[in-house]
Structure 1
Amino acid sequence: MQVSTKGIVLTSLKYGDTSLIAKIFTASDGLKSYMLKGILTSKRGKLRTSYFQPLTQLELVAIHRNKGMLESIREAKVYNHYQTLHTNIAKNAMTIFLAEMLGNSIHEEEQNMELFNFLEASFQWLDIKEDIGNFHLYFLLALSKYLGFYPDTNQMDASSFDLLEGEFTNTPSLNPMLTGENLNHLKLFLGINFDAIHTIKMRKANRQQLLQSLILYFELHLQGFRKPKSLAILNEVFN
């Protein structure tokens, strides 16, 4: 079936000498994987390698057979041209990290327009803003809402946050817990929007610790989740 849809590129991997396999989160059908035959050597085709950089926002004409196999793309064009996301060093490192997080977190081949709209708006915001040091922390927390494990904000005055249960608590536990400064920073991120993230002041060490806890939070709540390899690059750039 031929489908016209928007899509956000998550990953693209080289296949053989001339082709790519791209994972794209589509507005019409959720996550789809596409075989892009010969794209690395084609100079006149309708598909360009540059279209398939992480988080690029595309309009696609694709063939979806929906049989669990690789799909194909007939046409693609960029509908939101980023100004800084792939050229600014800090933003590019964050882009690669978040694309990997999304690739490890999203598996459903079904329409989810709320999630698509969130991703679309988030990356357009990231592209045009300058103070983005806390973006990935807020983004991951907000993403957990769409994936079904957003923190329970009842009892936010409690002394710890249970990462396994996803709730604030005063009850001692052997589960991984957030306490102290990291707990306080988590609370600050809950209930704000993107435009307020620059108001949260954190030391680099605290930012890295909270990020490690959020990655663990995803690992505890998503079956088969893999820690992102790009985390080391992100930490190096922001150091």
Structure 2
Amino acid sequence: MLITTNAIVLSKLKYRDNDLIVKCYTQQLGVVSFLLRGVLKSKKGNTKVAYFQLLSQLQIGFLYKNNRSLQTIKDTKLNCIYRSLHSHVLKSAIVMFLSEVLTSTLQEEEQNETLFSYLENTLLWLDSQSEYANFHLLFLLKLTKYLGFYPETTNIEYPFFDLSEGKFELKSNNRYIVSSENLALLKQLLGTTFDGLPNVKINAKQRQSFLSMMLLYFELHLGSFKTPKSLQVFNQVFS
């Protein structure tokens, strides 16, 4: 079956001497992995490799065979050319970190138009912004809506948040309870849009603490989730 679909690059891995394995989140089929043969061999191949930078937005054509774990791409073109996402050092750090998170969390080989649209639009938003220090925090929080464990906000006025249950509580009844600064920031971000992020004022220590809390939240609700290897470097960049 010949498929033409929009796609977002999640990861790439060198295979043998001249090949790449690229994992993409596609608009039509969810997660699909591709084998790019010989792309590291020639100058012409290097041009093609440039398309597959992390979180690039592409349109790809391929002959889909459901009995294969690695598909073969027939043609590729860029859907958009980022202005700063791959050239700005801080944004590049965000791209590396979020690509690891998404590679770990997105496993389904099925269509999810709303999730694809969320990724597409938020990456374009980040590319266009000059204030984005807290982008990754809101991105992860809103991502949970599409993964099935967005915080229950019915009792948002309660003084604690239970990470394991994903809801606000009156009492602190287990070790996964959140309070104080992280709780206040959680409540603020739950009521914030991306355009409202410049109004969220926190320091580097608070940012790291909230990020650690969010990664734990992901671990508690996604059995396959792994803490990104780039986390330490990422925290240093934004310290």
In structure 2, how many angstroms separate the alpha carbons of the residues matched to 1:6 and 1:184? 38
Contact 2:39/2:46 (<8 A) preserved: no
CA-CA distance at 1:45 after TM superposition: 5.3
In structure 2, how many angstroms separate the alpha carbons of the residues matched to 1:83 and 1:9? 17
Residue 25 of structure 2 corresponds to 25
In structure 2, how many angstroms separate the alpha carbons of the residues matched to 1:85 and 1:44? 24
- C-alpha distance after superposition, 1:174-195 (max 9, x if no partner): 2412110110001000032100
Once superposed, which parts of structure 1, at least 4 consecutive aligned residues long, lie more than 2 Å away? Answer: 42-47
Matched, 1:123 2:123: yes
In structure 2, how many angstroms separate the alpha carbons of the residues matched to 1:36 and 1:219? 32
Percent sequence identity is 43
TM-score (norm 1): 0.97
In structure 2, how many angstroms separate the alpha carbons of the residues matched to 1:58 and 1:161? 39
Residue 80 of structure 1 corresponds to 80
Matches within 5 A, 1:1-239: 1-44=1-44, 48-239=48-239
- For the residue of structure 2 that corresponds to 1:44, the secondary structure is helix
Contact 1:57/1:78 (<8 A) preserved: yes
Amino acid at match of 1:25: Y
In structure 2, how many angstroms separate the alpha carbons of the residues matched to 1:166 and 1:152? 6
Amino acid at match of 1:121: N
Structure 2 gap segments, 5+ residues each: none
Contact 2:40/2:46 (<8 A) preserved: no
Q: Quick check: 145-154 or 35-44, which moved more?
A: 35-44
In structure 2, how many angstroms separate the alpha carbons of the residues matched to 1:34 and 1:47? 17
Amino acid at match of 1:145: K
Query: What RMSD, in angstroms, separates the aligned Cα atoms of the two structures?
Result: 1.2
In structure 2, how many angstroms separate the alpha carbons of the residues matched to 1:18 and 1:141? 38
Amino acid at match of 2:77: K
CA-CA distance at 1:42 after TM superposition: 3.2
CA-CA distance at 1:47 after TM superposition: 6.5
